Amino acid sequence: MAIWSARHRVLAILGWIAFVAAATVLSGMLGTLAASGADQGNGESGRAEKIVEGAGFPERPAGEMVLIQDRAGADRAAATAEVTRTLATLSDVTGVQQPIESPDGRSTLVSFSVRGDPETAADRVGPALDAVAKAQAAHPDLLIVEGGDASGDKLIGDELDAGLARLSMLSIPVTLGILLVAFGAVVAALLPVGLAVTAVVAAIGLMAGFSRLAPTVDATSHVMLLVGLAVGVDYCLFYIRRERDERRAGADPHRALMIAAQTSGRSIWVSGLTVVVAMAGMFLTHDTTFVSFGLGTILVVTTAVLGSLTVLPALLSALGDRVDAIRIPGLYRRRAGGRVWAGLLRVVLAKPLVSVLVAVAALGALAAPALDLRTKSEGIDGLPADAPIVQAYKAIGEAFPSRTTPARVVVRRDSVRGEPFGRALAGFRAQAKASGQLVEPIDVEVNPAGTVAVVSVGLVGKGDDSTATAALRTLRDRIVPDTFGALPGTTALVSGETAANADFNEQLDGSLPWVFGFVLGLAFLLLLVSFRSVVIAVTGVVLNLLSVAAAYGMLVYVFQYGHFERQLDFASTGGITNWMPLFLFVILFGLSMDYHVFVLSRIREGHDQGLSTREAVREGIGRTAGVITSAAVVMVAVFALFATLPLNSTKELGVGLAAAVLLDATIVRAVLLPAVMALLGRANWWLPRWLRWLPAIAHDVPAVAGPAPAARRPLTPVG
C-alpha cells in the first residue's frame, strides 16, 4: 500500500479528499437515522415503549411544572394565583391545570404545557421561566421553581451543548500545540491533526448510511471525535516518527518510507484491528446506545487506519525532507527521546524483580477501591447540584413523587374502554392504595383506537433507590399480574424511568461476561498470531487488565467516595454511572493496545535482528519512549477536557480515560512491561509445537532497494 501510494501520490491524496467529500455529501443526502426513545429501551420497559410508540397516541406537548412551597409562612395561595394567572397569558403556554396540593399541605403544584413540537420546546420555554423567576423575587419567603422537559433541555442542554462545542473547539488546538512541542516543526505537527480530523469527518459521514443498520444516539458523534482524534493522531505520530528516525539514521527517503510502512504501518494495522475487535464487544450488549457507540468507533478507527496506510505515505513521499519545514527554534531536535526515560529504563532492567513488585504494588493500591465499586443509574443527581432544574426536580420529587418519575403501566388488548378493563382499573387503584408503595394520583390515557391504555402511578422512594426498586417489584410481580394481567388476551407491561433503569442494569449485568470474554479472547488471539508467542499474548492481556483495574479504582476513589469534588465541580452520588465500567473497559482495552503493539513490534524487531531479550527491550523501549510520551500526552489532554463538562458521567469518562492512559504509558509500558520481559528472557517467545503452523510475520527491517543506513550496521534477517 505504501509503495503504491508513493508511486501514485497525487492519485492517493486526491482519492482521500474525494472519499472524505463523498462521505460528507452522503451524510447530507441521507441524513443520520436517530434512535427513538423506544429504540433505546431494554427488557419489559423497552417492549412497553414500543407498544406506546406504535399505538398512535397524539404527540404530547412538553410538560412543565411549577412548585410553590412554604418556607416561612408566606401567603402561598396568593403566589399560586399570581403564577397561574401569569402563565395563562403567555402565548407559548397551553393547558394550565388547576393547582393541586401535596399530602403534607406545604406545597402546591401548577402543571402546564409548552405549545408546538416538544423537540424544540426548549426554544419557547424562556418566558415561562422568566415569569417564575419574577414570582420568586416577589415572594422571597416561598420556594417557587419550575421543572420539566423543556426547561430541563434548556437549562442543562444548553450548558452541555456549550461544553461539548467548547471541547470540540479546544481539542484540536490543544492537540496541535502538543504536537508542535513533540515535533518542533509546523508541517510535521499539522499532518496528524489534518488526517485525524478528516478521518473523523469521513466516519461521521459514513455513519449516515450505517445508521440504517443501527440508529444512532446523540452522543455518538462526540465519542467518535474523542476516539478518532486520539487514534488518528497516534497512528500518524508512530508512522511519521519512524520515517523521520530512519532518514536521520542515513536511509534515503524511499527506504525510510518503506521501513516505516513495514514496521509502524504493520503496527498500525494490528493495533487498529485490535481496537475494532474491542469496540465490537459493545454489540453483545444488545443495547442501542452501546451498539451506536460501537459502530461509530469502529467506523472512525477503520477510517483512521485506512488514511494512515494510504494518504499518509503519499504525503510523506511528496514532502520528503520538507516534512520538517517551519522549524520552531528551541523545540526542534534531531533525535527524539529523553534522558529521564533512558535513566528509568536502566534502573528497571538492572532490578527487574524489584521493579515488577513496585509497579504491581502501585497499580494494586490504585485498583483496590474498585473492589467496592457500586453503580447508579444516570439521573438528576448526576447534574450540577446548584443548577436550577436540579433544585426544582428534587423539591417536586419530594413533595409530589408521582409527578417526576411515575411508573407507566402499558395495557394492550382488543378494547380498553369496556367494563372488563374498568373493573381491572378499579382493582388496580385499590391494590395500589393498599400497598403503601404506590402514590396517587393515578392517571389513565387511552389511544384513539381504544386498544392501548397507559396508567401512570407514582412510586415511593427517589427514582432508583432501594425503596423505589422495591415498589417497582411489587407493581410488576403482584399488582399488575393480579389486575390487568388477569384479563384474557391482555398484555400488561411496566415502564417508566425506574423500570427502564432496572431493565438496563439487568441486561447489562447479563451481557458483561460475554463482552469481557469476547474482548479478552480475541485480543489474545490477535497478539498470538501477530507475535507468535503465547507468553506475549498472555502478558499483553494481563497488563491491560491491570491498567483498566487501576482506572476503575481511581474512579471509585474520586467519584464514589467524593474526593476532589470542589476541583472537579461535582457532587458524589455514592456510585459510578452504571454504563461506565463496561464502556471504559472496551475503550481502554482497545486504546491500550495502541501502545502495546507499537512497543512490542519494536522489541520483536530487535529480537529478530539477533539481539538478546534485554537488549531488544532496551532498544525497543528506548526508541519508542519519546513517541509514546507524545501520544499519551495528546490522549490525556483530549480526554481531560471531558472532565470540564457539567454531567458526572462525562467527568467520569474524562478522568477515567485520562488516568488510565497516563498509567498505561508510564507505569505499565515504561516499568512493568520491560521488567516482566527482562525476567522472562527467552520464555517471552515461547510457542508450543502444535501452534507452529501460525503464519510467521516478520518484524525486522525489510530489505528495500536503496543505500543502507549509514549510522547502523547492516541488518541481517533472522529465521
- The whole-number average pLDDT for the span 314-343 is 78
Residue 623's Cβ-side half-sphere holds a number of Cα atoms within 13 Å equal to 23
Mean per-residue pLDDT of the chain: 87
- The whole-angstrom separation of Cα 121 and Cα 393 is 18
- The whole-number average pLDDT for the span 393-415 is 84
Query: What is the reported pLDDT for 342?
Result: 81
Confidence label for 334 from pLDDT (cuts 50, 70 and 90): low
Query: What is the reported pLDDT for 73?
Result: 59
Residue type (1 letter), 21: A
Tens-place pLDDT, residues 61-84: 889 999 999 876 567 888 999 999
Spell out the residues 6+ positions from residue 252 whose beta carbon is closer than 8 angstroms to its own. Answer: 706, 707
Q: Are strands 576-577 and 375-376 parallel, antiparallel or unpaired?
A: parallel
Is the preceding peptide bond at 717 cis, omega within 30 degrees of 0?
no
CA nearest neighbour of 423 among 490, 487, 492, 491:
487
How is the chain split into domains, by residue range?
1-31+197-334, 62-151, 514-686
Compute the C-alpha angle 367/371/377, nearest 5°: 105
The mean-pLDDT minimum among 3-7, 150-154, 354-358, 430-434 falls in 150-154
What is the end-to-end Cα distance of the chain in Å, rounded?
Answer: 25
CA nearest neighbour of 270 among 604, 629, 716, 11:
604
- Cβ atoms within 10 Å, residue 219: 18
Sign for the CA dihedral angle at 112, 114, 117, 119 comes to negative
Query: What is the reported pLDDT for 700?
Result: 54
Give the global pTM. Answer: 0.83
- Decide if pLDDT at 337 tops 50: yes
Superfamily of domain 62-151: ACT domain (3.30.70.260)
Query: What is the reported pLDDT for 113?
Result: 93
- The whole-number average pLDDT for the span 238-262 is 86
Percent of the chain residues topping a pLDDT of 90: 46
- The whole-number average pLDDT for the span 170-187 is 87
CA nearest neighbour of 668 among 627, 608, 626, 628:
628
3-state DSSP assignment of residue 365: helix
- The whole-number average pLDDT for the span 452-457 is 94
At 437, phi and psi to the nearest 5? Answer: -115, -10
Query: What is the reported pLDDT for 481?
Result: 95
**β-bridge partners, 494:** 409
- Decide if pLDDT at 711 tops 50: no
DSSP for 247-296, written as a single string: HHTT--HHHHHHHHIIIIIHHHHHHHHHHHHHHHGGGGG--HHHHHHHHH
Residue 438's Cβ-side half-sphere holds a number of Cα atoms within 13 Å equal to 27
Query: What is the reported pLDDT for 266?
Result: 86
Compute the C-alpha angle 102/105/106, nearest 5°: 90
Write down the number of H helices and E strands in the chain.
Answer: 27, 11
Superfamily of domain 514-686: Multidrug efflux transporter AcrB transmembrane domain (1.20.1640.10)
Tens-place pLDDT, residues 538-565: 999 999 999 999 999 999 999 999 999 9
- The whole-angstrom separation of Cα 665 and Cα 346 is 17
- The whole-angstrom separation of Cα 564 and Cα 652 is 12
- Decide if pLDDT at 584 tops 80: yes
689 DSSP assignment: G
Equal fold, 62-151 vs 514-686:
no
Query: What is the reported pLDDT for 709?
Result: 39
DSSP for 411-469, written as a single string: EESS-SSSHHHHHHHHHHHHHHHHHSSEEEEEEEEE-TTSSEEEEEEEESSSSSSHHHH
Distances (CA, A) of 75 to 78, 80, 81, 83, 611: 6, 9, 10, 13, 87
Helix segments in 100-185, DSSP class H: 126-138, 149-152, 158-183
